[in-house]
Amino acid sequence: MNHFLDIHKTDATALRTILDSAAAMKSARNGRPRGAADDEQPLKGQMVALIFEKPSTRTRVSFDVGVRQMGGETMVLSGSDMQLGHGETIADTARVLSRYVDLIMIRTFDESVLIEMAEYASIPVINGLTDRTHPCQIMADIQTYEEHRGPIKGKKVVWCGDGNNVCASFLHAAGQFGFDMVFTGPAQLDPEDEFVGLARKAGVSVTIERDAEKAVDGADLVVTDTWVSMHDSQSSKERRHNMLRPYQVNDALMAHAKPDALFMHCLPAHREEEVTSSVMDGPNSVIFDEAENRLHAQKAIMRWCLGV
């Protein structure tokens, strides 16, 4: 049984197998209607529980559609539906769900909920996002980069802004896929030392550079994410905006990257805040390819978890 909890916890060979599978399934769907089933139905007869403690657009739709395209069925559950960890322990919930469904995807706040779910479930568990990491997004991002520019190994990836959960999974991926990373942002929002250390231990370069223009110099890929979350207070939002304003990705900043450097953002984006519309809609942007590839990458992850 294979859980997909974090990129650094999954063997590099398995990660490559997942991406190859994602590319093959995407190619096989060329020209098909969005709702059409895949020729292969590897999830036929299987039930997947999609648990959301956090609101979601891309994660919910891409997992739901992916399961259906592969012939399976979904059960979408919210944290309020289940009172996860309140009326019943996470461990007991995991044991019960394991008697009903074949696979669990959970999008939650506290990483400990994910870890406990996986520890006590007798079926595979996928990390749909926690406050610390977002591995499914980065698998889609790697797929997207390689579709456009070939192998990501040895490339320079620059993260601008907040060293958040998406940044953390990029650092995990750097070690597993062999690319270098530069983080540029305020010191208060640096990525966790643990994640930086894991990448460096894997043999790749991770640099912290406060000057955004120096950081982006010669970049192959520039990535950012929203500066605020829906749970931040108004005063917190204002403080973060003041801290992060020098790290906005705009045309002037992108001019310091390589001419063919790609721009990514996992969405949703706040246009004219962390990134300008001219960059988002520009020729180097692949943000909607990223969004589409969530579908294909996650289908491949589910197949790998289930061994089908």
pLDDT by 10s per residue, the chain, length 308: 799 999 999 999 999 999 999 999 999 999 999 999 999 999 999 999 999 998 899 999 999 999 999 999 999 998 777 777 677 899 999 999 999 999 999 999 999 999 999 999 999 999 999 999 999 999 999 999 999 999 999 999 999 999 999 999 999 999 999 999 999 999 999 999 999 999 999 999 999 999 999 999 999 999 999 998 756 677 788 899 999 999 999 999 999 999 999 999 999 999 999 999 999 999 999 999 999 999 999 999 999 999 99
What letter would DSSP give residue 8?
Answer: G
User: What is the structure's pLDDT at 30?
Assistant: 94
Known catalytic residues are 107, 134, 137, 225, 266, 294
Cβ neighbours for 102, distance < 8 A, ≥ 6 positions apart: 46, 47, 48, 72, 123, 306
Spatial strand order of the sheet with 180-184 comes to 206-208, 180-184, 156-160, 221-224, 262-265
Residue 216 tokens, joined? 């982006």
Phi/psi of residue 75, nearest 5 degrees: -125, 110
User: What is the structure's pLDDT at 231?
Assistant: 62
CB 111 within 8 A of CB 133: yes
Between CA 64 and CA 68 the distance in angstroms is 6
User: What is the structure's pLDDT at 54?
Assistant: 87
Question: What number of residues does the chain have?
Answer: 308
Query: C-alpha distances in angstroms, 26 versus 19, 142, 256?
Result: 10, 14, 33
What letter would DSSP give residue 192?
Answer: P
The single residue listed with the structure tokens 């859980």 is: 3
Between CA 225 and CA 264 the distance in angstroms is 9
List residues bridging with 262 in a β-sheet.
221
Binning the chain into helix, strand and coil, the percentages to the nearest 5 are 45, 15, 35
* Residue 256: closest CA among 144, 156, 138, 168: 156
Q: Quick count: other Cβ atoms within 10 Å of Cβ 32? A: 12
Report CA 241 to chain centroid distance, whole Å: 23
User: What is the structure's pLDDT at 259?
Assistant: 98
Cβ neighbours for 36, distance < 8 A, ≥ 6 positions apart: 29, 69
What letter would DSSP give residue 132?
Answer: S
